[in-house]
Structures are given as C-alpha cells and as structure tokens.
Structure 1
Amino acid sequence: MKSHVTDRIKIPAGFWAGLDQLGIAAHVVARKAQLPLTVIVDSVVNTAEYFAIWQAYADLIGDTAEGIIKLATIFETSKYPPTVLATYHARDYRDALNRMARYKQQCPPESIRMTEQDERCTIELEWLHSEQPGPPLLVGITLACLMEIGRRGTGHPLTAQLVEFSQDMGDVQALEQYFGCPVRVGANTNRLILHRGDLDRPFLSYNEELLEILTPVLDQSLDEQQRTRSIGERVIWILKRSLTGGRPDVQTVAKELNMSDRTLQRRLTEENTSFKHLLTQARHEQALAYLADPKLDIKEVAFLTGYEDQNSFYRAFRIWEDDTPSNWRVRQEC
C-alpha cells in the first residue's frame, strides 16, 4: 500500500494576476511550461504540471530570490484562495499559522509542519505527493507567504530568526533583507524559524463573522478529502512527518487522527495491516527518498528516518534492500 493524496492542484487566480502585475503574461508562462493555454482558465493541474509552471516563472524572472520577493509582496490579499483567506482573517498569528498547517492539506503538493519550543516557532516545508523537491522558487514563495501573512495581518514589519533552504536560491542577500534574518542554503530541510513571541500578536484583519462562514466549509471539505483515504494511508502520511530523530508511537499517531490507540489498531486490523508494518514502510520509503539526495550523508539519513544510531539503520536497510545504504546509493547513480 502506497500513501498518496490527490494529485489535482488548483492554481489561484491571484497567481496569474500577480504575474500580470510583474509584466509577465500568463500565456507566456504556459507556453514556457509546455502546457496548453487552457491551463490559464481551468487552473487545475497535476504535480508535474504545477512544478513546470513555477519553473517557467523562475526561468522568466531570472533570479530566484527576486521572483520570490516580487510575487510575495505584489500578491493582492483579495485574490487569496479561501484556504489562505481564512488565515489572513484569523484571531492572531498563531491561529493563522495553525489554520494554514491544517488547510494546506487540501492544497498539495506542499504541506507545512509547525512546532513551538522555547523562543522559537519552526515551520518546516514538506512535499505531500512527490518524492522530488519542488522548484526552489516555489519553496521560497511558500515560506515567504507565511511571513507575508504575519506582516499584513498584524500590521508590523515582522522578521524571522532564521530561514534555511536545501537548494540554491539566487541572491541570498536580497532574501536576508526580506526576511530580516540570516538565510542559509544547502541545508537538510526547508524551514522558517520565527520569534515565538510574534505568534501572540493579534491580527488587525481579524474577522469573526467571515471565519464563522469559512471555517465549517473548509473543515467539511478537509474531512471529506481525508475520508477518501484509508486509515493506513493517513497513518503513513503522519509517520513520515514525525520520524525525524525519534520513533513515533501508536498513541501519538492516534491522537493526530483524533481517535484512541485501541480504535486505531482495530481499524488497521480491518485493513489487514498493523502499526508496526506501516512504521517500517514509512521508514523504508523515506530512507530511499533521502538516499537519493547526495547532499545527505548516511548518518543524517538514519536520523531523519528515526533511528538512534547508524548501525540500527544499516541492519534495517539490509532487510529492506538486501544491500547497504552506501551500495544502494552508488547503484542508483550508475
């Protein structure tokens, strides 16, 4: 059983409007992406087409950092899709980010995971449908939009503590000026680290009446989408997001699914699988994805797949692939 989410992505009308404001015609982007012009009207694409559109914009704009900053700042709030509009009208920055993390599940291929610890709020970007990372400009614009929502909502020129990207992002100095903090490239993950205290800032754009209309509709849509996926698929998706540096247990995953651990285990039995089997599957799939990235060494891959030491990872990998991680990686490069 392979975990999956819908591979239908709707491009918001504000994207094409933003490009127009930048002097880039929508039909030029479509042609550059080698897609039919009907994509501008239909605006529903699969992951590969979505990546192609963003790569086309990146090629046309030139510098990745410039493309990120220009589109993030020029995008009109009124053009936000409902999932983002709900975050803009949230009670405060924390409420906005929590809503974004929840409703982003409806808008593949990227997802965000937010954690708070000490004085930091860390937001990590992950890919839901594709094992391949998205175009650098898409990665950057996703994190920049989270920053932009906070600035527009609170009315304050908020800054981040640190931003990390796994790929080259062009003019790093321009990005540092935009985010107001150091920006590192070549990192193991894509993440935005905010000042935790900023999350308590109220939103000037808070609109309780609008949220009372949007929230039930978005929650129902998300619930319907999740019901179309089996419990096993949902468990693998959660496990993949929770493996780093540890081994998630059944109680933790059950809580994420809003059910008891006994109910989860019963549901998995009904699907002829088990939590232990799904954990192994999630680790195996993630290990192969991470090993395909030459920037990650074996020790890092072991950590990212939830193994406390490298030897345990080696033993597990031999069972999965009848080979060592190093040999497997070399064979893939041939």
Structure 2
Amino acid sequence: MNRENTDLPKQRNINVQDYSIWPGWRLLMQDAGMQASPVLRRAQLPGDLFARQNVRLNPEDFFKLWKAIEAEGLSRYPDVPVALQIAKVMSSDWFDPELFAALCSANMIGALERMAKYVRLIAPMIIRAEQHATQTSVTLDFIDKTRRPPEVFLIFKLVFFTQLIRLATRTHVMPVSVSLPWTSDKINIDDPAYGQFFGTPVTASEITTIVFLNEDMQRPFLTENHKMWQFFEPSLRQRLADLDKMASTSERVHSILLEMLPAGEASMQSVSQKLAVSTRTLQRRLQDEGTSFQQVLDNVRESLAVHYLRNTNMSGAEISFLLGFEDANSFSRAFLMWTGKTPQSVRETPEQSAGNRD
C-alpha cells in the first residue's frame, strides 16, 4: 500500500505530548527550496499532511518529520545547514501561532511571555526567560524529558528566536551565547555557518539556551499590532482551553507534574489548583480512567529518574531532591520497587531501559 495515500491514525483524545503541524509549513519549506512530497516520503507520513487542518503528531512521527527535513535539506543544500536555509525565508507570511503571537508584541520580552503561554498549542515545550543585570537567558525545555527532540529541531528553535528578533526590530541583533544538548555527529555545531549567523560559536550544554543583551530584548518591535492581537487572542485562548479539555485527566496531571517536579512541587493540592478542580474531583476523574494520582506521580518520577541517571552526572541526593523525596535512600527504595533495578545499575548500563521489567 502506498503510504502517501493512507490516513493518520483514527481520531483519539489529544495527547498533551503531541506536536502540531500547521499549513504554513508547506509555504515555508517551498520558499526554502524543499518540496513537501519527498520530505513526507522520507518520514513515511501522508502526502497531504501539510494541507490538513489541526494536525497533531505524536513525538515519534514529529521527530521523524524533522529528521526527514534535515535529510532533504542536506541532499539539496549540502553546504548550508537546513535550519539556516529555513531562516533565510522566514517571514510574517508564515502564519504560525508562535510567530504571530510574537510579532504582534511590543518587544522580545513581551514576545517571550506570549510564546511561553501559547507554546503548548504547537509543542509540549516550556519557554523560560530569566533576566539578569545586563543579559537575559532564554531556555527551551520539554515537558517529557525522556524523549529529547533531534538536534536539528533544537538548533532550529535557537535560529527561530534569533531571526524573530531581527525580523521584528529590523536590526541585526546578535545573541551573546548559544548552546544546546548535542550528542550526534549529524549536525556539526562547529560549522562556520552557525557562527556567522549567530555571531557567536554554538556550544554544547545540558539545556537549549540562548542569551541576549537586555537592551536588545527591549528594542521596540516594528511589527507590533495590538488591535490585530486583540482580534486573534480569543481564538488562541479557546484553542488552549480545547487542548486541555480534549486531553485526559491523567495526561494533564502527567504534564503538570513533569513541569512542577523539578521545582520541588508534587502535591495533589498543587496539581488540583493548576487544573482548577478540587482534590476530590481530581481523584474521581483519575479513578474513572483506571489510575490514581500516586500512580501517575510514580510514572513521572520513574521517567525523570531514568533521564537524570542516563543523561546527567547528578548524585542520588540531587536526583532525589528534584523528584521530591526526603532523601537518597527513599529514592533508591522507590526506584527499586518501580524497576526492579538500583539507580546505580541503570547509570552503569544506560543502554538498557529501566522501564523494561522482568
């Protein structure tokens, strides 16, 4: 059967871990010199994907799509990184909720606030901006830390932030520093093209980060359009509400816990407040779905624990603190109960999944 003529899986509840595909992708790729058909064939996705409305892909298919974009870009422009090829043609014509919300803002500070609020419409990401004396660091994190997106997607987001501020201010703003998690040899972060685009070398780090001068963050956006934003914001708010309604309660709790746990918060009361329901209502809804708050919490803690053990050098005490345990011994006992393995054994054999129980 021709994969291009097949449909996406049957309609299901929206998963808060899904990524959105917007029709504007087709225009952007065409302007970048890439045809949609070969990209979708490489990704083994339907040939009319970019023509559909309200398409959301699970992480596996979304990552396959970006890897296909990377491969197609390399085949057509071997000397230009695909993220930079796309950046060359990025404009306000590419109607994407993230870009539109940002361009209507007064400056990059306001743009980041809006993107942080509505980013879940396009991806299970967390955007944070932390202002210091002279600089502002912008980090891009993911709700599900167990599935890291491909490097091509991460570098594209850093390119996106840089191109956005340049497009909106009509000024060639250069970030102070740029870094991202980098483990593969498919993307050469030492490529001079990246250094030329950003104006600074790209370095490896545990979290995707870009730093701008505060004066650049405050530069007025010439694209600011308050009236247009007032017209479109209700629709974006409704989409965000619909996303929450269509996701199951356990998925929403899972998502909230992934965001809250690293900050040391994991109580049912805090999650209930986030969901604007009582703890009794939350318990009942989870029970109706065949689970409980403790089960969801244990699943989140296990996935985060495996991530920290495999991808960081944090001690057991540090991990136990991030997961909300009183001490390292309590964490070790819980981990053994979840997986049948000790934290140390998982750290020493990272290629094995702690979730694969005997």
Cα distance, 1:56 vs structure 2? 1.5
- 5+ residue gaps, structure 2, are 1-13, 353-358
Cα distance change, pair 310–7 in 1 and its aligned pair in 2 (3 A): same
Q: CA RMSD in A?
A: 3.3
Is contact 1:112-1:123 (8 Å) kept?
no
Cα distance change, pair 29–276 in 1 and its aligned pair in 2 (3 A): closer
**Corresponding residue of 1:51:** 63
**Corresponding residue of 1:296:** 312
SS in 2 for 1:77: coil
The CA deviation string for residues 230-286 of structure 1, in whole angstroms up to 9 with x for no partner, is 5553343122123336446667656655x4xxx543433333587666544422221
* CA distance in structure 1 between the partners assigned to 2:248 and 2:22 by the alignment: 27
* Residue 34 (structure 2) pairs with residue 24 (structure 1): yes
Is contact 2:19-2:62 (8 Å) kept?
no
* CA distance in structure 2 between the partners assigned to 1:278 and 1:244 by the alignment: 16
Cα distance change, pair 274–333 in 1 and its aligned pair in 2 (3 A): closer
* Residue 169 (structure 2) pairs with residue 154 (structure 1): yes
TM-score, normalised by the number of residues in structure 1: 0.81
**Corresponding residue of 1:12:** 23
Cα distance change, pair 147–200 in 1 and its aligned pair in 2 (3 A): same
* CA distance in structure 2 between the partners assigned to 1:276 and 1:24 by the alignment: 47
* CA distance in structure 2 between the partners assigned to 1:75 and 1:17 by the alignment: 10
Cα distance change, pair 253–201 in 1 and its aligned pair in 2 (3 A): farther
Cα distance change, pair 256–205 in 1 and its aligned pair in 2 (3 A): farther
**Corresponding residue of 1:178:** 197
Q: Percent identity, aligned pairs only?
A: 27
Cα distance, 1:28 vs structure 2? 2.1
Is contact 2:128-2:140 (8 Å) kept?
no
TM-score, normalised by the number of residues in structure 2: 0.76
SS in 2 for 1:333: coil
What is the number of equivalent residue pairs in this alignment?
A: 323
The CA deviation string for residues 117-149 of structure 1, in whole angstroms up to 9 with x for no partner, is 424433333345684222211111122212222
Is contact 2:130-2:137 (8 Å) kept?
yes
**Corresponding residue of 1:198:** 216
1:86 to 101, 109, 125: 101
SS in 2 for 1:178: helix
* Aligned amino acid, residue 134 of structure 1: P
* CA distance in structure 2 between the partners assigned to 1:41 and 1:309 by the alignment: 52
SS in 2 for 1:215: helix
Cα distance, 1:114 vs structure 2? 0.9
1:112 to 105, 123, 126: 126
Is contact 2:269-2:279 (8 Å) kept?
no
* CA distance in structure 2 between the partners assigned to 1:10 and 1:140 by the alignment: 18
SS in 2 for 1:210: helix
The CA deviation string for residues 282-305 of structure 1, in whole angstroms up to 9 with x for no partner, is 2222123444x4x42352881664
**Corresponding residue of 2:10:** none
2:225 to 195, 207, 218: 207
2:339 to 321, 324, 333: 321
The CA deviation string for residues 163-194 of structure 1, in whole angstroms up to 9 with x for no partner, is 22112431434323322334212x22222233
Cα distance, 1:211 vs structure 2? 0.5
* CA distance in structure 1 between the partners assigned to 2:80 and 2:117 by the alignment: 27
* CA distance in structure 1 between the partners assigned to 2:170 and 2:157 by the alignment: 20
Cα distance change, pair 231–153 in 1 and its aligned pair in 2 (3 A): same
**Corresponding residue of 2:47:** 37
* CA distance in structure 2 between the partners assigned to 1:143 and 1:253 by the alignment: 31
* CA distance in structure 2 between the partners assigned to 1:279 and 1:241 by the alignment: 12
- 5+ residue gaps, structure 1, are none
Cα distance change, pair 268–35 in 1 and its aligned pair in 2 (3 A): closer
Cα distance change, pair 233–31 in 1 and its aligned pair in 2 (3 A): closer
Is contact 1:317-1:324 (8 Å) kept?
yes
* Aligned amino acid, residue 160 of structure 2: C
